[in-house]
Amino acid sequence: MTKKQQANLSTILTAIYRPAPLPEHAGNPLIEALPPFYRVEDIVDAFARIPHIADEERRLPAPQRMQAVLRLNEYLEVLPSHFDVIEQIGLLVRAGYAYRNLSDENYPKLLNTFYHESMNGKIQPIGYSSASTAPSFALFGVSGVGKSSVVERALSFLPQALLHEKYGFVQVVWLKLDCPLDGSLKQLLNSFLAKLDELLGTSYQKSMGRGKTIDELILSVAKISAMHHLGMLVIDEIQNLLDASGVGQAKMLNFFVTFANEVKIPVFTMGTPRALSLLEGTFREARRVGDHGTHIWDALPRGKDWSHFLNCLWQYQWTAEKVDMTADISKFLHDHTQGIHALVVRLFQLSQIHAIRDGSECITKELISGVAHAKFKLIAPMLKALKNNDKKGIEKYEDLLVKGLVEIKDEVGLQANLSLLKAQAQKKSQLSAERTRTISALIAMGFEQGRAQEVVTRFFDANPDLTCDRAVRTILESLDSRAGTDNKSTRESLKEIVQTATASEHSPLEALDSAGLIAPIAGIK
């Protein structure tokens, strides 16, 4: 075993077996090693990805609150439209494994019994009967509606790699790939091998990917998939196939069908509405990519689901003033996002950051509208097409939406981080000024420059938030025979001035200044 393989053992779980409730799954280690299959209703709370928030956080300094807004970056609220897709993932994996029972020791005996019974006149199949193809599934929707987030979250409830010590192999339950931008099947196959290597610590890409033809790569991938009992292959961004040649499209789609037909591994494809043409076109293979069902996720229309989503999201306000959701705000948010989940979250984040920065500390319709007009310029044509249900326009501006979503998310992080960096720089400048004032004060009182710098550095490193007044007081109170001045009476006089100022609740620095013991310092107020 290589060092890389040893390192990856920590990410590969040792299989634990639980009796399967269905007779067709009973005794199948590939299924019995999977967690129980739950209804979506039972896992909603665990499935949702919601951030922490506390009322007292709205009293934090502005930079910290703007940073807190970034917690919404990965926000995920489960909606009724998600239920079928979440369930399909669990069903597809198990359906693909249903006819791959490795532990059935009675199988040869069973075949022999079937044969003898058949020869004695009983009408029944002699050979092993299985589905002609593995089930497949397709999911389509505009960018930002949460396809990838929901699917990846659903996959996270399944182990990705399981070590079956009893049987001597590693089971890969699922593998998710992005369709290459140019629709290249060869690139997809190499990506497949690279992902497996990353997961398992193997060297499949190096040993099987170099100098291979596409047909040879397909055979290699099929062989490795069968060896690791791959449960499901997930392909995202399938619309990238539209940029491939007709031959390239056909090869990719044929590969999916080969996987389902020959290797009997379910294929789950995802893409934008443009990719629907691949299923409705002339390719016979394309129509079979989604033979187990095709789901289309539209942006949220105004209704129950929209209200539920918005009301859940609206709890996460870090502005000093918490605003209740109103019908007007709901309408404004929908008008400026067309119900695209990711855009709603980003607009909510940017509006909060803007309100915190300008001191208004309140989310209003006007604020939302202003932020949307300033930050959503790139995606405005797509939003207009969605509003008008312009299918040609939606397809035309799809890429703008993808690019815009990335830029807007980056903008959220940039705005929040700029405020934090500004605050940190301001604080650093203030602390530096306090140090400089203290050094200059000590020099004016008779300390040698080197000694003053040494003492101040030591005191401020131990307590970076010291003010000049406090630092001077502390340093003078700690004077001893080795302090910066050798005149005992001078030291005592300085101490007396400091003590008197402290007792009268005056600044020691001001008292020393009034006594004419501190010279003016250029650039320091």
Convert the pLDDT of each residue in 222-239 to its tens digit: 889 988 999 999 999 999
The Cα–Cα gap between 161 and 511 comes to 72
333 and 289 in a common domain: no
Q: Provide mean pLDDT across the span 354-383.
A: 93
- List the one residue out of 95, 76, 89 whose CA is nearest residue 40: 89
What percent of the chain shows pLDDT beyond 90?
38
Q: Has residue 285 got a pLDDT over 50?
A: no
For residue 507, what are the CA distances in angstroms to 185, 436, 502, 518?
Answer: 75, 17, 7, 13
Tokens in use for 59? 């009293």
Q: Is residue 461 part of a domain?
A: yes
Torsion sign (Cα): 22, 23, 24, 28? positive
Residue 318 covered by a domain: yes
Spatial distance between the Cα atoms of 67 and 318, rounded to a whole number of angstroms: 10
The residue-averaged pLDDT of 48-62 equals 91
Instruction: Measure CA 367 to chain center.
Output: 27
Residues 371 and 229 grouped into a single domain: no
Q: What is the pLDDT of residues 372-402, one digit of tens each?
A: 999 999 999 999 999 998 988 988 888 889 8
On average, the pLDDT of the chain sits at 80
Same domain, 281 and 361: no
For the chain, the distance separating the N- and C-terminal CA atoms, rounded to the nearest angstrom, is 68
For residue range 168-184, what is the model confidence (pLDDT) as tens digits? 999 999 999 999 988 88
Domain of 413?
Answer: 304-419
What 8-state DSSP symbol labels residue 383?
A: H
284 and 259 inside one domain = yes
* Residue type at 190 in one-letter notation: N
Coil/strand/helix, residue 328: helix
Is residue 277 predicted with pLDDT exceeding 60? yes
311 vs 525 pLDDT, higher one? 311
pLDDT of residue 54: 92
Question: For residue 511, what is the enclosing H or E element?
Answer: helix 508-514
User: Does pLDDT of 250 surpass 80?
Assistant: yes
List the single range of 128-132, 183-187, 195-199, 469-473 with lowest mean pLDDT: 128-132
112: DSSP letter: H
What lies within 8 Å, CB to CB, of 53 at 6+ separation is: 68, 71, 315, 316, 318
Question: Tens digits of per-residue pLDDT, 111-144?
Answer: 466 556 656 665 545 444 455 567 788 899 999 9
CA dihedral 42, 45, 49, 53 (to 10 degrees): 180
Are both 369 and 310 inside the same structural domain? yes
83 and 211 housed in the same domain: yes
Q: 426-445, pLDDT tens digit by residue?
A: 556 555 667 777 777 777 66
Give me the half-sphere count of Cα atoms (radius 13 Å) on the Cβ side of residue 189.
27
What is the rounded distance in angstroms from the CA atom of residue 397 to the CA atom of residue 400? Answer: 5
Q: Half-sphere exposure of 506 toward its Cβ, with a 13 Å CA cutoff?
A: 13
Say if residue 75's pLDDT is above 60: yes
212 compared with 268, residue with greater pLDDT: 268
Average pLDDT for 257-280: 81
Q: How confident is the model at residue 208 (pLDDT cuts 50, 70, 90)?
A: confident
User: Could you give the percent of the chain with pLDDT greater than 70?
Assistant: 75
166 and 229 belong to one structural domain: yes
Q: State residue 284's pLDDT score.
A: 44
Domain boundary among 261, 278, 297: 297
Half-sphere exposure of 210 (CA within 13 A, CB side): 4
Place of tokens 């897709």: 85
Residue 67 has pLDDT above 60, yes or no: yes
Residue 319 located in a structural domain: yes
261 within a domain of the structure (yes/no):
yes
**Is the domain of 318 the same as that of 264?**
no
Q: Higher confidence at residue 388 or residue 505? A: 388
Residue scoring higher pLDDT (397 or 210): 397
Radius of gyration from C-alpha coordinates of the chain: 34
pLDDT exceeds 50 at position 255: yes
Clarify whether residues 257 and 155 are in a common domain: yes
Q: Are residues 467 and 411 in the same domain?
A: no
- 219: number of Cβ within 10 Å: 14
Domain assignment present for 39: no
Please count the structural domains in the chain. 3
Cα–Cα dist 484/290, whole Å: 84
In this prediction, residue 480 has a pLDDT band, given cuts at 50, 70 and 90, of: very low
Query: Max alpha carbon distance in the chain (Å)?
Result: 124
Least confident of 21-25, 193-197, 245-249, 329-333: 245-249
> What integer pLDDT is reported at residue 483 of this predicted model?
42
For residues 404 and 471, state if they share a domain.
no
Length of the chain: 525
Specify whether 356 is located in the same domain as 451: no
Question: 141: which strand partners?
Answer: 297
Name the band, by pLDDT with cuts 50, 70 and 90, for residue 423: low
Q: How confident is the model at residue 287 (pLDDT cuts 50, 70, 90)?
A: very low
pLDDT higher than 70, residue 488: no
Cα–Cα dist 396/384, whole Å: 12
> How far is 95 from 103, CA to CA, in rounded Å?
17
Does 343 score more than 60 pLDDT?
yes
In a domain, 405, yes or no: yes
**pLDDT above 60: residue 342:** yes
Given this model, what pLDDT does residue 229 score?
Answer: 92
The CATH number of residue 174's host domain is: 3.40.50.300
Amino acid residing at 104: D
Whether residue 101 is contained in a domain is answered as no
Using an 8 Å Cβ cutoff, are 267 and 139 in contact? no
Range from 142-146, 398-402, 513-517, 520-524 carrying the lowest mean pLDDT: 520-524
121 located within any domain: no
Nearest CA among 39, 38, 19, 16 for reference residue 28 = 19
**Domain end residue (candidates: 387, 419, 451):** 419
Choose one of 269, 297, 325: the last residue of a domain. 297
Residue 270, pLDDT > 70, answer yes
